Amino acid sequence: MGSENLLGLPRRVLITGAASGIGLACAKLFHDSGASVGLIGRSAERLESAAGTLTSPEGGTVVTAAADVADEASVQAAVERIASELGGLDALVLSAGTDGEMGALVPEVTAAGFREVLEVNVLGTFLAVKAALPFLSAAENASITVIGSDSGFVAVPGMLAYNASKGAIVQLVRALAVELYDDHGIRVNSVAPSVVDTPMARRGLGDEVMDAPPFPLQQAEDVAWSVAYLASARARAVNGQSLLSDFGYTGRSSFPA
């Protein structure tokens, strides 16, 4: 059996931040396509609950491992266990993230809060890539897809650390793409969506805004389809890109004229 199905989707996929939101939507899509999936998240209980929703008869093995992506030993152990149980890895999807002190302006942002966002969103991405690299290097047409954000391209007050972390992801994806493709044949891309209806977004913006948003709102499944394309062999020429998924809002002029 090859590393892809007939649609070019990978057969062995590891997903961080997989207990809910975008990560879980990706897990469902890949599992429905026939893939075996490994789920990483902070809570073993929530991971088991998420795994219980992956019921497609077409799907393969489902493995879970609790880990803190910002802790190198923790994420290393989780990745190694999942890769061992899946018999290797063909794709890595990095969805773990945190939003930090939403609404806090510069005088209110704490060093600890800023550091936590960078450690989870940026360092956590790097550590998962580093841990998965030996397994991805052994696969054909391997790929890494990071969940970024339009906040890596535009900014609003009260999201300082989050904006900084997602901007860093844009350049981290470029740097990883150049090095890993040249040395290992691994493609690295990112999906950068605007606001997505996830538990984290609802915590940050509130149910009142999310239930009647003054802007186009995406669902986690929308992002999962973008991830699936970038992870597929059909996207074999796409590398080092951050795919903005924002209804075209970043293309609009903000000038009043």
Which residues are catalytic, by number? 162
In whole angstroms, how far apart are CA 229 and each of 162, 169, 202, 221? 26, 19, 27, 13
172-181 contact pairs (CB < 8 A, 24+): 172/122, 172/125, 172/126, 172/146, 173/146, 173/148, 173/240, 173/241, 173/242, 174/240, 176/129, 176/144, 177/239, 177/240, 177/241, 178/240, 180/129, 180/133, 180/144, 181/239, 181/240
In contact, 242 and 170? CB cutoff 8 Å: yes
Round to whole Å and give the CA distance between 237 and 81.
31
Q: Is 197 helix (H, G, I), strand (E, B) or coil?
A: strand
Contact between 186 and 235 under an 8 Å Cβ cutoff? The reply is: no
Contact 37, 44 (CB under 8 A): no
